Structure 1
């Protein structure tokens, strides 16, 4: 999960690894402050997102990659594999074009977080998560429908 969150903020593999290390250190330092108000998973996601935002502010890195690079298509058909690969790239590019708040909720949704967990991780209320997710989905459908 932490690797995918880092990848959603940093496309360059070396910088992504740096960010993942920053997240690990931040988690190590933050764990004593965990009060049990949310799950450990939610707490870790919140720390990871906050650390990633700080990383972006420091490095002014451009967000380009949002998902794990290991999508596997079991189909042996090269045309189908190429189509799947293109669809994946289109989705990643579309997610990258979303405003930060919408991008965050999409990434956590793809990680399987509920709206409540996403709100806890990002420090916003559940209705805000629902609104951002709805807008992001609408925008993604519009953009991906054009391609």
Structure 2
């Protein structure tokens, strides 16, 4: 991979890394698992980057890779993420500290989201990121109508979890 491509990847990743942190927050319970998942997602993004054609925005492509990686690892290891060593280029990414001092309501929402299944978590995450239903459908790989129906059901489910 050329240095120009490497530089572009690092720049895009640094600019959009909060996406990965948010996904890690939804799919992990502790800081160590969060860091392990962040590392694994970064590795998968790096491996897939040469195939990124730019048909979609980098962030949309990143959502898809990150969510698929999180879901796959979550299912395989039941929250115990196996990691690999960073490639030298990945060490160049300046990771920001994730602010874990969210207010209590946000933590309650995260706790409720963790009770959802993998696909529901992904849908909620994209919805909370202000993605429209077309973008959600494209990222998840379902129809736009299906995304709307699922999201309405998830909203009801979350209300029931938060207000039993």
TM-score tier, shorter chain, comes to: 0.7 to 0.9
The equivalent position to 2:134 in structure 1, one of 113, 116, 122, is 116
Equivalent pair of 1:23/1:48 in contact (CA under 8 Å): yes
For residue 35 of structure 1, what is the aligned residue in structure 2? 53
Structural RMSD (CA): 1.8
For residue 94 of structure 2, what is the aligned residue in structure 1? none
For residue 48 of structure 1, what is the aligned residue in structure 2? 66
Change (3 A) 1:70 1:132: farther
* Post-superposition offset of 1:99: 2.0
Q: Deviations over 1:30-50 (max 9, x none)?
A: 112223332211100000011
Equivalent pair of 1:5/1:107 in contact (CA under 8 Å): yes
Equivalent pair of 1:102/1:136 in contact (CA under 8 Å): yes
Structure 1 portions without partners, runs of 5+: 63-67, 73-84
For residue 102 of structure 2, what is the aligned residue in structure 1? 71
Equivalent pair of 1:102/1:135 in contact (CA under 8 Å): no
The equivalent position to 1:20 in structure 2, one of 15, 35, 38, is 38
Report the Cα distance in structure 2 between the residues aligned to 1:32 and 1:120, rounded to whole angstroms: 21
Equivalent pair of 1:103/1:136 in contact (CA under 8 Å): no
How many pairs are equivalent? 128
* Post-superposition offset of 1:121: 1.8
For residue 90 of structure 1, what is the aligned residue in structure 2? 108
> RCO higher in 1 or 2 (8 Å CA, sep ≥ 6)?
1
Report the Cα distance in structure 2 between the residues aligned to 1:88 and 1:49, rounded to whole angstroms: 20
Structure 2 portions without partners, runs of 5+: 1-18, 81-98
* TM-score when normalising by structure 1: 0.77
For residue 5 of structure 1, what is the aligned residue in structure 2? 23
